């Protein structure tokens, strides 16, 4: 028995569409994540002023907290 070519085409279309939707969903969530993190940092650094004072302790501290632990890489 032979598989009809239109069935294979439909399956490929479904798979491709699902992959595209998955990538778009991840991209959307990533943008929301970065926006929320940026908003938190901005509000913390702004301290009620009209302009935030960047390049302060907060950003440097956050950055160092999220660096990979090199000791764990050797486990």
Q: What residue spans define the domains of the chain? A: 5-69
The contacts of residue 13 (CB under 8 Å, 6+ apart) are none
Q: What percent of the chain has pLDDT over 70?
A: 80
Q: Which of the residue ranges 41-45, 65-69, 71-75 would you say has the lowest mean pLDDT? A: 71-75
Rounded Cα gap, residues 44 and 40, in angstroms? 6
Is pTM beyond 0.85? Reply is no
Rounded Cα gap, residues 42 and 37, in angstroms? 9
The contacts of residue 59 (CB under 8 Å, 6+ apart) are 41, 45
């Amino acid at each position: 028995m032979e598989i009809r070519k239109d069935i294979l085409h439909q399956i490929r279309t479904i798979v491709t569409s699902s992959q595209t939707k998955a990538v778009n969903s991840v991209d959307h969530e990533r943008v929301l994540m970065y926006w929320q993190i940026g908003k938190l940092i901005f509000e913390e650094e702004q301290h009620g002023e009209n302009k935030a004072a960047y390049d302060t302790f907060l950003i440097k501290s956050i950055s160092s907290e999220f660096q990979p632990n090199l000791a764990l890489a050797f486990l």
